[in-house]
């Protein structure tokens, strides 16, 4: 029987690491568009997004095959129960997945993730260098240059964020496995960090741009003003009603 949790964790890692490739494609397409060498269409963008999931998808399959299906999914809970630990994070309804250190798929997955990150970093480095060279030599207005510079800074930070939240956890995780270190819940912590990457990239896109910050601030101020007016109107109606009742009582 195929475990749902094996499929789920492999899919989560596929999406998390595909997010790294999406940033790379955005930077690359931004350079190609600014360089005016290629005519990019929607078909190119759709094809790039689909192609971006190929390598993480293959690695996800390798990871799926690395899990040991012969062990029960409550193995971590039973293990901690036998230890008598007072700081158990594993619950009776929790599920655990076990990797087979003797399975070559595990080492193939590890090497694949390293190669995947290396390819993305090389493409990003070349694209950024060439893009800044184009921006320096192209005859553009100061406003256009500033807009492009701000946008590329956002993409630069977004391309660095996965190194911390995506590359570091998986390297640390595999490192502990290879060296035999026993760190409790390290796999759980790594998966949580992986899922923070898309959220962080979205927040960076919103708050690193001055125009985006201004739009968000204006929205918050409008909502605050609307809530204040509603609260003030409600208070005024309550006060008027109370005064009316008091006047009738006095009369």
**What count of residues does the chain have?**
251
Which residues make Cβ contacts (< 8 Å) with residue 205, sequence separation at least 6? Answer: 154, 158, 212
Does the pLDDT at position 151 exceed 50? yes
Does the pLDDT at position 163 exceed 70? no
Find out whether 15 and 162 touch, Cβ atoms under 8 Å.
no
pLDDT-derived band at 248, boundaries 50, 70, 90: very low
Does the pLDDT at position 169 exceed 80? no
Distance CA 75, CA 95 (A): 8
Distance CA 62, CA 146 (A): 44
Does the pLDDT at position 172 exceed 50? yes
- Tell which wins on pLDDT, 21 or 235: 21
Does the pLDDT at position 2 exceed 60? no
Give the CA-trace dihedral at 34, 40, 42, 47, to 10 degrees: -110
Find out whether 68 and 100 touch, Cβ atoms under 8 Å.
yes
Distance CA 129, CA 248 (A): 80
Does the pLDDT at position 13 exceed 50? yes
Does the pLDDT at position 84 exceed 70? no
- Phi and psi (nearest 5°) for 231? -65, -40
């Amino acid at each position: 029987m195929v475990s749902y949790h094996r499929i789920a964790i492999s899919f989560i890692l596929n999406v998390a690491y595909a997010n790294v490739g999406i940033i790379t494609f955005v930077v690359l397409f931004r350079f190609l568009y600014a360089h005016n060498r290629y005519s990019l269409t929607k078909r190119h963008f759709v094809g790039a997004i689909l192609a971006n999931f190929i390598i993480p998808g293959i690695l996800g399959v390798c990871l799926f095959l690395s899990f040991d299906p012969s062990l029960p999914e409550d193995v971590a809970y039973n293990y901690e129960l036998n230890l008598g630990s007072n700081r158990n994070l594993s619950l009776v309804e929790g599920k655990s997945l076990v990797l087979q250190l003797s399975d070559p798929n595990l080492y193939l997955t590890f090497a694949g993730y390293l190669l995947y990150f290396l390819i993305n970093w090389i493409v990003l480095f070349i694209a950024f260098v060439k893009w800044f060279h184009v921006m320096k030599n192209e005859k553009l207005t100061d406003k256009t240059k500033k807009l492009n510079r701000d946008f590329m800074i956002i993409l630069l930070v977004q391309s660095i964020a996965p190194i911390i939240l995506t590359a570091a956890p998986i390297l640390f995780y595999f490192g502990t496995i290879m060296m035999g270190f026993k760190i409790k819940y390290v796999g759980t912590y790594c998966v949580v960090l992986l899922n923070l990457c898309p959220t962080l990239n979205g927040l960076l896109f919103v708050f690193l741009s001055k125009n985006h910050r201004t739009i968000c601030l204006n929205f918050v101020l409008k909502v605050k003003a609307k809530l204040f007016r509603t609260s003030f109107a409600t208070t005024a109606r309550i006060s008027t009603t109370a005064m009316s009742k008091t006047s009738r009582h006095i009369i």
